[in-house]
């Protein structure tokens, strides 16, 4: 099978993807619980397999203990170096790319991968990673996982965009602009919906200064967004975690 993709930088850190892992457990838990083969692929886990190990640990603890996580990397050296961390059949590392090594997972997590590709290659990658019916969570984050954004993609089409922050470190929602998914990062200019979204969130944040701390300020800002007519999904339980999810359109 031809491997599709290119070797990326591979930088990673422990707990860098904690925020999106929590979202996957929440958003995809029922899919994994219903599946006869609850497999999740961590595509492009990087120079060390720590984020794949953490993903398995979190899903096994919060969703079901028999979940399988397969880390895929194009670089054979990275695959070789990850083998001491494998725990077959529940945690494996294989060589593969957007073709998913011929596997049929329930969920694919691809983080900080497409950011390193040209924008005109994103749609094809989305289609290929979801061709067998998998739900794709694709996005990007900063080096320590304090700021992250991701899209949920099914059948090659994005359905939602999530903004997520460690609120104690959030100075202003404009920070999200630096970490938008590749499909959006070049569209954060006047006249485009993502620019309107971030601008409105910035105004809501500025208007909701509070002596009670950043979590209360964030929740008030998200509530203001909803009151102003934005379709904000989920509810206060997710907002409290520093998340805001909106329909992709």
Cβ(45)–Cβ(12) below 8 Å:
yes
- pTM attached to this predicted model: 0.94
Q: Are both 119 and 79 inside the same structural domain?
A: yes
Q: Are both 175 and 136 inside the same structural domain?
A: no
Contacts 24+ apart (CB under 8 A), 152-157: 152/27, 153/126, 153/129, 154/130, 155/130, 156/123, 156/126, 156/127, 156/130, 156/131, 157/126
Q: Are both 202 and 125 inside the same structural domain?
A: no
Residue pLDDT tens, the chain, 249 long: 676 666 666 677 789 999 999 999 999 999 999 999 999 999 999 899 999 999 999 999 999 999 999 999 999 999 999 999 999 999 999 999 999 999 999 999 999 999 889 999 999 999 999 999 999 999 999 999 999 999 999 999 999 999 999 999 999 999 999 999 999 999 999 999 999 999 999 999 999 987 778 999 999 999 999 999 999 999 999 999 999 999 998
Report, in angstroms and rounded to the nearest whole number, the Rg of the chain calculated over CA atoms.
Answer: 18
Q: Are both 94 and 211 inside the same structural domain?
A: no
Predicted local confidence at residue 7, as pLDDT: 65
Q: Are both 28 and 132 inside the same structural domain?
A: yes
Predicted local confidence at residue 237, as pLDDT: 96
220: number of Cβ within 10 Å: 18
| Domain's final residue, options 165, 181, 212 | 165
1 within domain boundaries: no
242 within domain boundaries: no
Predicted local confidence at residue 113, as pLDDT: 93
Q: Are both 34 and 152 inside the same structural domain?
A: yes
- Strand arrangement of the beta sheet that strand 107-111 belongs to: 91-95, 68-73, 39-43, 107-111, 135-141, 147-154, 157-165, 243-247
Residue 189 lies in domain = 167-230
Predicted local confidence at residue 12, as pLDDT: 77
Predicted local confidence at residue 212, as pLDDT: 76
Q: How far apart are the first and last CA of the chain?
A: 35
11 within domain boundaries: no
Helix (H, G, I), strand (E, B) or coil at 52: helix
Counting the structural domains of the chain, the total is 2
Q: Are both 145 and 36 inside the same structural domain?
A: yes
246 within domain boundaries: no
Predicted local confidence at residue 111, as pLDDT: 95
Predicted local confidence at residue 14, as pLDDT: 81
Q: Are both 176 and 98 inside the same structural domain?
A: no
Predicted local confidence at residue 10, as pLDDT: 62
Cβ(132)–Cβ(41) below 8 Å:
no
Question: CA–CA distance from 245 to each of 64, 112, 113, 125 (Å)?
Answer: 25, 19, 21, 23
245 within domain boundaries: no
| Domain's final residue, options 165, 185, 216 | 165
Predicted local confidence at residue 56, as pLDDT: 98
Cβ(98)–Cβ(128) below 8 Å:
yes
Quick one: which of 7, 9, 15 has its CA closest to 145? 15
Q: Are both 160 and 177 inside the same structural domain?
A: no
Q: Are both 105 and 121 inside the same structural domain?
A: yes
Query: Which CATH number covers residue 41?
Result: 3.40.50.150
Predicted local confidence at residue 3, as pLDDT: 62
43 within domain boundaries: yes
181 within domain boundaries: yes
């Amino acid at each position: 099978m031809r491997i599709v993709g290119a070797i990326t930088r591979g930088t990673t850190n422990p707990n860098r993807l904690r925020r999106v892992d929590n979202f996957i457990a929440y958003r995809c838990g029922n899919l994994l619980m219903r599946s006869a083969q609850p497999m999740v692929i961590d595509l492009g886990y990087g120079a060390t397999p720590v984020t794949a190990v953490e993903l398995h640990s979190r899903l096994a603890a919060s969703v079901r203990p028999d979940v399988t996580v397969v880390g895929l990397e194009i670089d054979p050296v990275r695959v070789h170096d990850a083998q001491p961390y494998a725990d077959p059949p529940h945690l494996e590392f294989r060589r593969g790319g957007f073709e998913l090594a011929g596997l049929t997972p329930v969920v694919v997590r691809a983080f900080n991968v497409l950011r390193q590709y040209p924008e005109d290659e994103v749609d094809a990658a989305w289609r290929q990673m979801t061709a067998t019916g998998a739900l794709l969570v694709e996005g990007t984050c900063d080096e320590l996982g304090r700021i992250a954004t991701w899209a949920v993609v099914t059948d090659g089409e994005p359905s939602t965009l999530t903004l997520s922050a460690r609120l104690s470190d959030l100075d202003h929602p404009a920070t999200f602009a630096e970490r938008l998914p590749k499909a959006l990062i070049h569209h954060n200019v006047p006249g485009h919906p993502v620019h309107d979204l971030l601008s409105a969130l910035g105004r809501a944040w500025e208007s909701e200064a509070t002596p009670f701390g950043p979590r209360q300020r964030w929740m008030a800002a998200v509530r203001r967004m909803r009151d102003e007519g934005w379709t904000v999904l989920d509810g206060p339980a997710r907002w409290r975690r520093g998340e805001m999810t909106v329909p992709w359109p």
